[in-house]
Chain A
Amino acid sequence: MDEIASPAHSPAASRPARTGISGILLSLVLVTYAAWVVFPMVWVAYSSLKPDRAIFEHTFALPQPGDLRFENYAHAWRQAHFGQYFLNSVIVTGCSVLLIVALGAMAAYALARFHHRAGRALFWVFLAGLMIPAQLAVVPLFFELRALDLLNSRVGLILVYTANGLPFAIFILAGFFRSLPRALHEAAVIDGCGEFAAFRRVMLPLARPGLVTVAIFQFIGVWKEYFFAYLLVGGDVDGTARTLPLGLANLSITAQYRSDYGMLFAGLMLVTIPILVTYALLQRHIVKGVAAGALRG
């Protein structure tokens, strides 16, 4: 620690990359941590091409170049119905995020602009949702969806995700709308915009950073959601509503049952790759979105 602390000649304000002994040591700490983050994933990646029995027999060995088991992927793809579940996940996540952003923005706008006792109470009612654990509602929710005939359906899942995502969206977006100058809105109204048009044309574009933050945050949350999915579409036998996390969990059980680990590793890669690609393309937005969302949430 002493070395880390000792020479600090550079002004902290500019915060340039540090060189010298301490810089190298600090980098080493990070590299070590990065190795521990990355290596398990690399292990899964190359093990997914090994024959089933070699995975745990020669743990660290790379796959033989002449014996790459791509059929592991074929098995996983078939077994886990990846095509169907991927599509389900895209639809469910896409619709949920759209609805959350749209409905959340409208509600947040109204709650932020119109000061009224009822409005403030409503704001707090929404915020209480941030503290309610999913487990509280899920038991009656199951029977409610059963009564509405929305169990084991994508629509039911979308509506549930939307309802649960709204508190966060409203909280973030209300902050944004509050910070927008009132004069803009008034100008729009004077220009002859209706209330809704003023919102749509003037206020919404200004809140775009907030919308992006909410969308990214919710996308990540919904894409990997398991609890609601397991309970609310878990009885779906045709696979028309099951999402990827469900498929992956099921694949794991099947793989354990048959002790077919090559298939499981391949399945894990099939789930990881799209996330990795998306992340590689959008990493700047995602890191910023997560930070912004978390900072405010």
Chain B
Amino acid sequence: MRTRPWTDAGRWFARAAAAIGCLVLAVPGRGGTTLDIPVFAGGYGLSFYEETARQFEALEAARGVKVHLYGDPRIHDKISVRAIGGDFPDAAAAAYVPWPALIRAGKVIDLRRYLDGPNWEGDARWRDTFYPGALESWEVDGHICGLPFTYACWTIFYNRSLFRAHGWTPPRTWDEFFALCDRMKAAGITPLSLAGTHQLYPEAFLRAAFYSRAGSAGWKALNALAPGARTSPAYLEAAALLQRITRQDTIRGWEGATHTGAQLAFLEGRTAMTVSGSWMLNEMAGKVPDGFELGAMNFPVFPDGRGDPTAIQTSSDCFFVFAKGDPRRERLTIDFLRYLTSRRRAEAFVREMDSPVAVRGVPRVAFSPRMRDTYAMIEQARSAFNMPQAMLQPPALLEALNDARFRLMTGAMTPREFGRRLEDAAATDRRRMADPLVVDDRHPVAGTLLLAGILATAVWLFGAERGRRRFARDTALAGLVPPDSPRPRPAAETASFGPLRARMAATFVGPAFALYAVLVLLPGATAFLWAFTHWDGLGPRTWTGWFNFRELLFESDTFWSALRNNLFLTVVPTLLVVPVALLLAAVIHRGVIGGRVFRVVFLFPNLLGGIAATLLWLNAYEPHGGLVNAGLVALGRLIHSEWLQSFDGFPWLTPDHLYAALVPIYLWMACGFNLILYLAAMEGIDPQLYEAAELDGASRVRQFFSVTLPMIWDLVGISAVFLVIAGLNAFEMVWLLTSQEPAGSSHTLGTLLVTTMFKYFEVGRAAALAVILLVLVLLASGVVLRVLRREPVGD
């Protein structure tokens, strides 16, 4: 930068342009047709699908077809982001994509036309080759939008050798089930391990119990949002049953367990049973101890004999075909799916994955002995019901379910409250379907108070002329203007400003301003406009006035819990980080051996970055054997504290404790940065002040309070503003610690915004959230600076 001077601005730009140009990747040219098919890579992995793709390519070599098939466990995020960006693959298999919005917008094709045609072998109607009910998974308004391939059965897995050793037999009724659990506990064995972070797993009990009580008609009514379905005796009984299981018969710390964690606990013999689907063995490949005898049983029924004991609970991974307007591609995609669902590939899947498929006619011998239980269950089933597709559930209900289900399971909510909460949400959704702009006033007081508070604060900050002048000074302190910057405006200088120099100045500022205007100002301003619209990113945008704001402030429970969480993150970490950083900075400042080393070490977590630091702590918080709990237990043994030892298995990252667990992470990450800041300010203090204080006989502590602190007070205020802004903008820590799926009550405004936009495609609502966030950030910074402003002392 200092050796060779550039000759002119043009050359400089040429270089910048060349640098950028080098980055643009040449898109590789493609011959023939390449189908683009992302697939959820969960328990089954990808290998089977990749193998199918290769075989299909070989079969279709004449047509020059290639299949680009890929995936990972979060493929739905990528598909969602692509879809809302208008870039559609040919087909995709992933549940958590807002398919209903895509279907409504006409982006997903109705498969009935093809299903009425022949299957791959050409010996039957394609539709008839599936198990009954499998095609209903994604039936929307009479259209069949999802093509099922896998056909997993939800079952209770049990440890067969353990059962044999104790003479236990699989229970047929719920009474027998609970009696068995009691015997297990009496024998010192924990009956169940369940996944608290993947609540669809424990919820299988509720679904099964409800179905066996309410039957097929009741199940349909529940999913059709029939009024009263969720407060019906059958639903409440099922909810009570789930609560009884999680509160009495489940392993300690299940609240924080992932589904694989829960399955691991079962396979390692820590519990006698767990709940999962037929994919479990695949998911746990390599983790199953040698000689483990796996048994699978269907869910029990109520003892009155009315429920169908053969009814199975199934769930299918479905393929969706996008309407890309290219008949040839669509035809090829369908052909690929027909090949996938051919009897040969279906059997190959069963042999490789040892898990059922939705295609009929796979012989029993294709299953391993371990899966014969499941096979028999499917073959004997007189009825089957699909686990409801999460994305098909309407937003208010989904939100309520995410929040209330966990509270039901931990006992924070009674089954009756649970049913009522869901029923309310379902009523909201029904009303919304009838009239999209109606708002339920669930938080009339809080909403009004917040609005009034915002207004009052704004008036307080901007109101009086005197206040305004002070605010200008405060923002100057916040660093918006260098407080010491000389701003002389001699007349001569202003006068020397001529038209030529104006053009020169424009060339200097122009590029920066253009970028800034296009990528910051324009979208920022647009957000204000969009906040008053409804838009799913795909269809037309409609004006909805204040609806988004009214819905957030007065109706949404999630918005309010998010706001509470943000408030916690602005107050608690700030109150902890500032004093600790000040103390450490003061210690280093007044001279201590190795001060420089400490300074360097303390800053490191900040450089590490939010993602790496959060992941580090995510593992430190692992309930069993994570650094935190292991440390507490070890300390407990050392000082003989029962209480500390009881932390083994404590689930830190459940919605109940998540925010408490965030505090140490904040401290760990933010202290170093603030410490460096304070130290730099302290080093600017005139040493003579300390000498004078010392002559007056002031102790070191007094010197800190009478010299150091007042001298750096403005900076403390600024750092507090940083922390407050960070607390309001909090996103990545919560996002990662909740595996990118915060429960309703764990959201911050930031995670709620991202979820709203990319998981529900509610662009207008997301923009409204952004606007609220901006208002809060501006007001909070203003308030902090006002409150911390030093009253003028006579110095």
Give the interface of A toward B (CB within 8 A): 1, 4-6, 8, 10-13, 15-19, 23, 26-27, 29-30, 33-34, 36-41, 43-44, 55-60, 91, 95, 98-99, 102-104, 106-107, 109-111, 113-116, 119, 122, 125-127, 129-144, 146, 151-155, 158-160, 162-164, 166-167, 170-171, 174-175, 178-179, 194-197, 199-201, 204-205, 208, 211, 220, 223-224, 226-227, 230-231, 234-237, 240, 245, 248-250, 252-254, 256-259, 261, 264-265, 268, 271-272, 275-276, 279, 283, 286-287, 290-292, 294-297
Nearest A residue to B537 via CB reads A143
Q: Does B173 contact A (CB under 8 A)?
A: no
Q: Does B164 contact A (CB under 8 A)?
A: no
Q: How far in angstroms is the closest Cβ of chain A from B83? A: 8
Size bracket of the B interface: 35 or more
Do B620 and A40 have beta carbons less than 8 Å apart?
yes
Task: Say what secondary structure dominates the interface of chain B.
Answer: helix
In the complex, the chain A residue whose C-beta lies closest to that of B258 is A256
Shortest CB–CB separation between residue A119 and chain B, in angstroms?
7
A131 partner residues in chain B, CB cutoff 8 A: 480, 777-778, 781
B537 & A275 in contact (Cβ 8 Å cutoff): no
* B260 CB contacts on chain A under 8 angstroms: 256-259
Interface residues of B in 292-334 (CB under 8 A from A): none
Which chain B positions have C-beta within 8 A of A294? 673, 676-677, 680, 719
Going nearest first, the 8 A-B pairs with the smallest beta carbon separation are: A224-B609, A56-B625, A12-B690, A110-B508, A235-B81, A13-B687, A291-B680, A59-B630
Given known pairs A37-B605, A141-B523, A224-B611, the reply for A250 and B74 (CB within 8 Å) is yes
CB–CB A37/B668 < 8 A: yes
A154 touches B23 (CB 8 A): yes
| B-chain residues with CB within 8 Å of residue A102 when the two chains form the complex | 12, 16
In whole angstroms, how far apart are the Cα atoms of A139 and B752 in the complex? 13
Chain A contacts for B20, CB-based, 8 A: 95, 155, 158
Contact of B767 with A23 in the complex, beta carbons under 8 Å? no
A102 to B6, CA, bound (A): 13
Of the candidates B516, B518, B530, B753, the one having the most CB atoms from chain A within 10 angstroms of its own CB is: B516
Q: Which one of B512, B519, B672, B781 contacts A170 once the chains associate, using CB atoms below 8 Å? A: B512
Expressed in whole angstroms, the Cα–Cα distance for A15 and B38 within the complex equals: 63
Extra contacts, 16 of them, besides A37-B602, A171-B479, A283-B600 (Cβ < 8 A), are A8-B694, A15-B589, A23-B593, A26-B590, A33-B602, A43-B627, A59-B625, A59-B631, A107-B513, A116-B505, A133-B725, A152-B87, A166-B516, A231-B758, A249-B615, A279-B600
For B619, give its contact among A12, A250, A265 (CB under 8 Å): A265
Roughly how many angstroms separate A62 CA and B19 CA in the complex, as a whole number?
47
Query: Would you call B774 and A122 a contact (CB within 8 A)?
Result: no
B612 in complex: contacting residue of A29, A55, A268, CB < 8 Å: A268
**B527 contacts which chain A residues (CB < 8 A)?**
136-137, 139-140
Q: List 13 A-B contacts (CB under 8 A).
A: A26-B590, A34-B601, A40-B668, A106-B512, A125-B521, A144-B523, A162-B515, A164-B520, A226-B732, A234-B81, A240-B25, A248-B611, A249-B736
Asked whether any CB of chain A lies closer than 8 Å to the CB of B48, the reply is no
Q: Which of B122-130, B356-364, B405-413, B698-706 contacts A (4 or more CB under 8 A)?
A: B698-706
Contact A114 B73 (CB under 8 A): no
Q: Are B729 and A4 in contact (CB under 8 A)?
A: no
Given contacts A17-B593, A37-B605, A295-B677, contact A140 B530 (CB under 8 A): yes
Chain B's closest residue to A11 (CB) is: B691
* Contact present for A271 and B612 (CB under 8 Å): yes
Q: Is the interface of A mostly helix, strand, loop or mixed?
A: helix
Known: A91-B23, A178-B485. A40 touches B616 (CB 8 A): yes
Identify which of B375-383, B486-494, B655-663 touches chain A: B486-494
Q: Are B594 and A27 in contact (CB under 8 A)?
A: yes
Roughly how many angstroms separate A290 CA and B673 CA in the complex, as a whole number?
A: 8
Contacting residue for A205 out of B2, B9, B81, B516, CB 8 A: B2
- In the assembled complex, B711 has its CB within 8 A of some CB on chain A: no
- Which of B74, B84, B593 lies in contact with A27, CB distance below 8 A? B593
A-contact 0/1 string along B602-630, CB 8 Å cutoff = 11111111111001111110101111001
Q: Known: A15-B591, A37-B605, A231-B754. Contact between A287 and B600, CB under 8 A?
A: yes
Expressed in whole angstroms, the Cα–Cα distance for A39 and B604 within the complex equals: 12
State which of B2, B606, B680 has its C-beta within 8 Å of the C-beta of A295.
B680
Closest Cβ–Cβ distance, residue B586 to chain A (whole Å): 10
Instruction: Check A132/B23 contact, CB under 8 A, given A226-B732, A295-B677.
Output: no
| Cα–Cα distance between A11 and B575 once the two chains are bound (Å) | 32
Q: Which residues of A contact B81 (CB under 8 A)?
A: 231, 234-235
Residues of B within 8 A of A170 (CB): 512
Query: What residues of chain A lie closer than 8 Å to B624, measured between beta carbons?
Result: 56
Contacting residue for A256 out of B24, B594, B602, B739, CB 8 A: B739
Across the interface, do A127 and B609 meet the contact criterion of CB distance under 8 Å? no
Smallest Cβ distance from A174 to chain B, in angstroms? 8
Contact B522 A144 (CB under 8 A): yes
| A29 and B731 in contact, given A132-B524, A257-B42 (Cβ under 8 angstroms) | no
Chain B residues near A91 (CB-CB < 8 A) = 23
Contact status B619-A261, CB under 8 Å: yes
A-B contact count (CB 8 A): 405
Q: B736 contacts which of A5, A126, A174, A252 (Cβ < 8 Å)?
A: A252
Given A146-B85, A257-B73, check contact A136 B771 (CB 8 Å). yes
B610 adjacent to A163 (CB under 8 Å): no
Q: Are A115 and B497 in touch, CB under 8 angstroms?
A: yes
Find chain A residues with CB under 8 A from B739 CB: 253, 256
Most buried by B among A19, A153, A162, A268: A268
Instruction: Give the docked Cα–Cα distance between A6 and B701 (Å).
Output: 9
Q: Is there contact, CB below 8 Å, between B501 and A114?
A: yes
> Cβ of B626 and Cβ of A139 under 8 Å apart?
no
Nearest Cβ in chain A — how far from B482, in angstroms? 5
Is the CB–CB distance between B526 and A13 below 8 Å? no
In Å, the complex CA distance between A33 and B577 comes to 13
Given contacts A34-B598, A154-B23, contact A41 B626 (CB under 8 A): no
Contacts of B598 in A (CB 8 A): 30, 33-34
Q: Is B523 a contact partner of A140 (Cβ separation < 8 A)?
A: yes
A6–B619 alpha-carbon span in the complex (Å): 43
A99 touches B16 (CB 8 A): yes
Give bound CA distance, A39 to B487, whole Å: 49
A8 to B734, CA, bound (A): 46
Measured between beta carbons, the chain A residues less than 8 angstroms from B599 are: 287
Task: For A13, give its contact among B79, B691, B773 (CB under 8 Å).
Answer: B691
B736 nearest CB neighbor, chain A only: A249
User: Given A141, A195, A201, which contacts B504 in the complex, CB threshold below 8 Å?
Assistant: A195
The complex places the Cα of A235 from the Cα of B94 at a distance, in Å, of: 14
Contact A142 to B85, CB < 8 A, known contacts A178-B486, A205-B2, A237-B70 = yes
In the complex the two chains form, is B634's CB within 8 Å of A60's CB? yes
- Bound: A169/B612 CA distance, A: 26
- Chain B residues whose CB sits within 8 angstroms of the CB of A178 once the complex forms: 482, 485-487
Inter-subunit contact B616/A44 (CB<8 Å): yes
Point out the residues of chain B lying under 8 angstroms from A23, CB to CB: 592-593
CB–CB A56/B616 < 8 A: no
Best-buried of A102, A137, A200 by chain B (most CB within 10 Å): A137
Q: Give Cα A136 to B260, complex, Å.
A: 37
User: Most chain-A Cβ atoms within 10 A of its Cβ — which of B7, B591, B598, B671?
Assistant: B591
Contacts of A276 in B (CB 8 A): 604
Most buried by B among A136, A152, A211: A136
Q: Which residues of B contact A211 (CB under 8 A)?
A: 1
Q: Name the A residues within 8 Å of B582 (CB-CB).
A: none
Of B509, B519, B701, the residue contacting A1 (CB under 8 A) is B701
* A98 in complex: contacting residue of B19, B494, B589, B691, CB < 8 Å: B19
Partner of A36, one of B1, B668, B729: B668
Interface membership of B763, Cβ < 8 A: yes
A162 to B757 Cα, complex, angstroms: 24
Contact indicator A133/B588 (Cβ below 8 Å): no
